[in-house]
Structure 1
Amino acid sequence: MRCKLLTAAVVAIGILLTGCSTFQKVVYRPDINQGNFLTPAEVSKLQKGMTKQQVVYILGTPLMQDPFGSDTWYYVFRQQPGHQDVTQQTLTLTFNSGGTLTSINNDTSMMKQRDE
């Protein structure tokens, strides 16, 4: 009887401790990738003066376009490795009214992972 009670207590304590923050790294968290994955080689192929069709051929379709017109395209890639901080790469391309690429802005930011 005492052995069964001790076993039940150990199992209950083990189950309760798996949710504690001290054991957070033990719990598996998958890597989460969202958006347009862009390699540095692809981004380096971009040049001012390219047409929209040429940009789509190199990078694919953008994740977002300017809601008030189609002159600004956003390629966003967000990566959240299991227990590490989140990184986000935002490539902003601006076109003139003739559909020619005029501006390239590549921004990479790091965000602190919130504790759950």
Structure 2
Amino acid sequence: MIILTSKNAKLIALAAACALSLSACIRPYQPDIQQGNIINNSDLREIRYGMSKQEVLFILGTPMVIDPFNEQRWDYFYSKRDQAKKETSQRLITVLFEGNKLVKLTGDVDLANVQQLEPSTEDKQHGGTVITEPTQPEKGLLNRLGILDSRN
């Protein structure tokens, strides 16, 4: 049988307060949220006026929206929410056809300047995975001081 004294009660209250304050410091992992069509600058460089719908479909993929009242307009939308930075980046490309030929590309990019586009983050994509630099700091005091090198 455990007897609860005022000293034990203080220790329990202190331990509970420490546990609560430490639990407030822990933030659960939240993955980045991507929605829509990934729009690569390298893919946009391949688009030319006069292309057929089939060629545009092959390069950019299935559009997110085909206007039911105007089948000559395709909309490609991409949104990425970076949970760490609490930022959302978006791209919208609208493709307009006359008959079966591409006549206009509007939105975040002008087809006349598409050759000058810098490679986007999505251009580094390989096999469905975006390749990025490691963001985790080196673990351990000896590794950070250079005494022990864990990469070998």
Normalising to structure 1: TM-score of the pair?
A: 0.76
Instruction: Specify the alignment match of 1:90 in structure 2.
Output: 92
Aligned ranges for residues 31-70 of structure 1 at < 5 Å? 31-70=32-71
Looking at structure 1, the residues matched to 107 and 46 of structure 2 have their Cα atoms a distance apart, in angstroms, of 13
Q: Write out the 4+ residue segments of structure 1 that deviate beyond 4 Å after TM superposition.
A: none
Structure 1 portions without partners, runs of 5+: 109-116
- The secondary structure found in structure 2 opposite 1:70 is coil
Displacement of 1:67: 2.5
How many corresponding residue pairs? 100
Looking at structure 2, the residues matched to 47 and 95 of structure 1 have their Cα atoms a distance apart, in angstroms, of 12
1:10 and 2:11 aligned: no
Higher-Rg member (1/2)? 2
Displacement of 1:48: 0.8
Percent of matched pairs sharing the same residue? 31
Instruction: Specify the alignment match of 1:102 in structure 2.
Output: 103
Normalising to structure 2: TM-score of the pair?
A: 0.59
- The secondary structure found in structure 2 opposite 1:53 is helix
Displacement of 1:81: 0.9
Q: For residue 45 of structure 2, what is the amino acid of its counterpart?
A: S
1:78 and 2:75 aligned: no
Structure 2 portions without partners, runs of 5+: 1-7, 110-152
